[in-house]
Structure 1
Amino acid sequence: MPAFTRFLSFLFRVGEIAFAAVVAGIVGYYLHLWSDCDDCSKARYIYTEVIAALSLFFGIILLIPFTSSIVAWHLDIILSLTWFAAFGLLVDALGSVPCGSPWDWSGLVNSDDCSRWKAAEAFSFLSAIFWLASAVLGIYFIWFVGGRTAQRRYWYGRYDV
């Protein structure tokens, strides 16, 4: 595997782990605060927390530098789609909170609830993009880099004595 591809894959995995940890921390904090609320609908937040936990687990497993970690593009696509769904759920949840538009990023230096929720929204989107980029890198490796090395091995392997 080319060194640049391996390095890029490593950077994507580290980003995926970091973004999932941030989202898990923010959403987990609010789930803890709402643990006594019986009439609260927490399904979207539990879903986001589960996706963050799965991303942490698979991100750490796939961080181990083997070729199989870059060819797990199927898992990367699935996790990317689940992160896009979590992002949509967080955007929908922010619509019912008096924080303004989900796309209004002014005043995020405050440490209030709106800033935290918008940070969770932003990091869930970044996580989706990084998982998608890992999938694209894996597909690139399989189709363009892996195919040529397999043909070379087969070509030279036929004439070994």
Structure 2
Amino acid sequence: MAETGFAHEVISVILRLSELSSAIIVLGILSRFCYLAGIAEAHVDERIIYTIFVACLVIMYSICFCPPFKSMFLGFSFDFVMFVMWLVAYCLLQTRTGSHLCSSSWYYNYWGYYWGRLWRVGPVGTVNVDAAGCASWRTALAFAFIAWFLHILSGVLGIYVFRTYIKLDETKADIKQHAEKLAK
């Protein structure tokens, strides 16, 4: 491989750890909501389930691709796949509340109602939800946004490294050599 700098490897690890952190935060908040909805024996919105699925994929991907080996930069195309998946997840969540966030009917009758455990007080629509779970909802939206932004940055960095530093023939030879070492 061509001589490379050190900065892109450090930036790559920082981006991967940030992606991992964002996914863990989103997964934690949405899992807590699923737990609360499960206690109330309510259904969980499909959009929330999709976002949980994306967060789980990103956690596995970020852990596997965190080491700053040069051959790991070949996975930059998957960064763009994850970017699209996070963008879809963010848009699906955002369209639930629109610009009203914590004053929308979906929030008031679903997220806030179950997050605040208000099913124990009365039926949907008869209980004052106030801001129960509003900060959690906003945090989940914010970190879903941050996650897709980090993935696009990571993909752009991967393209830069691939075009600047990685020579495909040398990379194939390195991968073959590592595979032979592992086979022994």
Judge same fold: TM > 0.5, yes or no: yes
| Alpha-carbon distance, 1:34 to partner | 1.1
Q: 1:90 to 1:5 in 2, by over 3 A?
A: same
1:70, 1:134 within 8 Å by CA — same for their partners in 2?
no
Q: 1:26 to 1:147 in 2, by over 3 A?
A: same
Structure 1 runs (4+) deviating above 3 angstroms are 95-98, 147-150
Q: What is residue 59 of structure 2 aligned with on the other side?
A: 56
| Alpha-carbon distance, 1:95 to partner | 3.4
Q: 1:123 to 1:51 in 2, by over 3 A?
A: same
- Is 1:143–2:147 an aligned residue pair? no
| Alpha-carbon distance, 1:70 to partner | 1.9
- Is 1:84–2:84 an aligned residue pair? no
Q: What is residue 31 of structure 1 aligned with on the other side?
A: 34
User: Matched residues in 2 for 1:96 and 1:42: separation?
Assistant: 19
2:10, 2:68 within 8 Å by CA — same for their partners in 1?
no
Q: Which amino acid aligns with 2:16?
A: R
User: Residues 56-75 of structure 1: matches in 2 within 5 Å?
Assistant: 56-75=59-78
> SS in structure 1 opposite 2:148?
helix
TM-score, normalising length: structure 1: 0.78
> SS in structure 2 opposite 1:142?
helix
Overall identity of the aligned pairs, in %: 28
User: Matched residues in 2 for 1:61 and 1:49: separation?
Assistant: 19
User: Matched residues in 1 for 2:161 and 2:89: separation?
Assistant: 28
- Is 1:132–2:169 an aligned residue pair? no
2:70, 2:166 within 8 Å by CA — same for their partners in 1?
no
1:31, 1:42 within 8 Å by CA — same for their partners in 2?
no
Structure 1, unaligned stretches of length 5 or more? Answer: 102-110, 151-161
User: Matched residues in 2 for 1:116 and 1:6: separation?
Assistant: 33
| Alpha-carbon distance, 1:147 to partner | 4.6
TM-score, normalising length: structure 2: 0.69
| Alpha-carbon distance, 1:68 to partner | 2.2
> SS in structure 1 opposite 2:65?
helix
In terms of Rg, which structure is larger? Answer: 2
Structure 2, unaligned stretches of length 5 or more? Answer: 105-130, 171-184
> SS in structure 2 opposite 1:95?
helix
Give RMSD over aligned pairs: 2.3
| Alpha-carbon distance, 1:66 to partner | 1.6
User: Matched residues in 2 for 1:122 and 1:140: separation?
Assistant: 27
Q: What is residue 136 of structure 2 aligned with on the other side?
A: 116
Q: Which amino acid aligns with 1:24?
A: L
Deviations 1:52-100 (A, max 9, x none): 0000000000012321222211110000110011110111122397614
1:19, 1:124 within 8 Å by CA — same for their partners in 2?
yes
